[in-house]
Amino acid sequence: MEWQAIWLSLRLSFWTTVILLAIGLPAAYWLTYSLHKWKFLVEALIALPLVLPPTVLGFYILVAIGPRSPAGKLYATLTGGMLPFSFQGLLVASVLYSLPFAVQPFAAGFAAVDRRLIEASWCLGVSRAATFFRVIVPLSAPAIVTGMILAFAHTLGEFGVVLMVGGNLPGITRTVSIAIFDDVQALNYQAALNTSLLLLGISFCVLAATYGLRRRVWAVWPMN
């Protein structure tokens, strides 16, 4: 069993989800409430990873963060390290790759919040930031949880992007799906089967937990 790879994938998914929560919530807020006429272009940009082949995305990311690119050089000066073939590089790639899976459910949740409640809060003198955290976020909690779970699960299963950016280094960039691919090539079918089965189990548990959690949220705080 590829415990090292499983642990790595879980860590990668966790941090990707945390970062997507931090940047996804403001992004979704802007997408929902902005009246900017070019908003649709940003929406298309964020949704790109949904339709782009992961290899294309991975290739672009590899070029963009490589040691010869401006971003790669800047990173090298700041940290002395480099992004490709490192955990941090995978993290950058995963955040971009799973961006729509977090932002879209967030935005859908925000859009479903009754506009009058938000305006009532503003009229009562509550700041926009406080309104966001005390009205919008609680009311769209199920959507936020859904977005987080989707981002987590999507990162857990990513393959093409990791293959391009990661380099299959044990303990650093050999994620579960790469380990399975490697085991199959080594004719280690039993190991590949075991790891696949575990991944299936984890994925099912994560999804079941989400749906279960959402049910309880609805039962404790009836929305109407």
- Residues near another protein, by CB under 8 A: 11, 15, 18-19, 22, 62, 66-68, 82, 84-88, 91, 167-172, 174, 182, 184-187
Nearer to another protein, 68 or 116 (CB): 68
Instruction: Compare residues 112 and 130 and give the one whose CB is closer to another protein.
Output: 130
CB of 79 to another protein, least distance (A): 9
As given in the structure block, the two tokens for residue 103 are: 């932002």
Tell me the C-alpha distance between 165 and 90, whole Å: 7
**Is residue 44 within 8 Å of 51, Cβ to Cβ?**
no
Minimum Å gap between C-beta 126 and another protein is 21
Q: How far is CA 113 from CA 117, 123, 135, 142, 189, in A?
A: 8, 17, 9, 12, 49
Helices 3-33 and 87-111 sit at what angle, rounded to 10 degrees?
A: 40
CB of 85 to another protein, least distance (A): 5
Based on CB atoms, which residue is closest to another protein, 189 or 221? Answer: 189
Pull the structure tokens for residue 48: 């790109």
**Closest distance to another protein from the beta carbon of 27 (Å):** 14
Q: Closer to another protein at the Cβ: 56 or 111? A: 56
d(CA 31, CA 26): 9
HEC profile of 192-210:
HHHHHHHHHHHHHHHHHHH
Q: Considering the complex, what minimum distance in angstroms separates the CB of residue 34 from another protein?
A: 22
Nearer of residues 70 and 125 to another protein, judged by Cβ: 70
- CB nearer to another protein: pick between 68 and 115: 68
Residue that the structure tokens 């879980």 belong to: 10
Assess contact for 162 and 90: CB atoms under 8 A: yes
| Cβ atoms within 10 Å of 195's Cβ, excluding its own | 21
Nearest distance in Å: CB 183, another protein: 10
